Amino acid sequence: MRDLLTPLTDNCRFTLGDEMTEEREERVLAQVHDDFGTIRVLEVGDYRFLEFGDAIEQSCVFTADPSWLEYDYTRAMLIGALCHEQPESALFLGLGAGTLTQACMKFLPLDDIEAIELRPDVPRLAIEYLGLDDDPRLYIRIGDALQLLDSAETADLIFVDLYTDHGPNVAHLAWRFLEDCQKKLNPGGWLVINQWAGDDGKPLGAALLRGLYHRHYWELPVKEGNVILLVPADLDQSLDLAGVSDRAGVLMPQLGYSLESLIKDIRPAS
């Protein structure tokens, strides 16, 4: 059995909380192989994990409530969604176990949701083992987000979370792709990017991001070692922190946790 205290993630860097560190039996629920390697679904107590490759954890799901966001980086991305007062559409670039997608479907007034996922077995496993609802509002396309973005619908919210068992996809540092993501936003929309952080606490590709978005974005660092970027659709658009806090407060009884401590960590682009 692997040590649950060891950071295993690629799309987030963290150690599991005390409530999950006790020794528990690990069960492999599913394992498939595709052109990109191995995908596993593991169960440990009340949690299920989606892993890529050699024990590289991509997602964690609380089986009693798949909309529960266990880690701060996913909660921070949900805060990105709350930057929009009334989002009706969302585009997820990278699906994983679908925990963030599930939360957004449950807690936001979304009518149209599109997800682009590279690996065909990931959505199947997410629905079969990880609690992702086969919701009629959700349309999942299989393929490379860099190639399929042009054909995606515009959206009020766009989430970029493209990780493999080797780290961030090249899209996370691709000027043209990141520029096109912003252009796909509807007026008033928000682009939310899960970016790794360097030893200096700045997001991966900080210089590129500052140039591309003219320093007009906000950063939310989280304890797992990531920085979530909150990028508005245009330079005339500002972040209403008071509104974000109010919307988070309204949701708190449904979420079961507060987002306020994370909201307080939001900072202008560094």
Contact 52, 118 (CB under 8 A): no
Low-confidence ranges of the chain (pLDDT < 50): 1-10, 13-21
Quote the strand ranges of 161-216, DSSP E. Answer: 163-164, 167-168, 185-196
State pTM to two decimals: 0.90
Q: Residue 147 has what pLDDT?
A: 97
Chain mean position to CA 156: 16
Q: Residue 79 has what pLDDT?
A: 98
Model confidence pLDDT, tens digit, residues 219-241 = 999 998 999 999 999 999 999 99
Q: Residue 23 has what pLDDT?
A: 56
Torsion angles phi and psi, residue 65, rounded to 5: -155, 90
Burial class (CB in 10 A: 0-12, 13-18, 19+), 204: middle
CA distance 74 to 164: 17
Q: Residue 24 has what pLDDT?
A: 66
Q: Residue 7 has what pLDDT?
A: 33
Q: Which domains does the chain have, with CATH numbers?
A: 72-268 (3.40.50.150)
SS3 56: strand
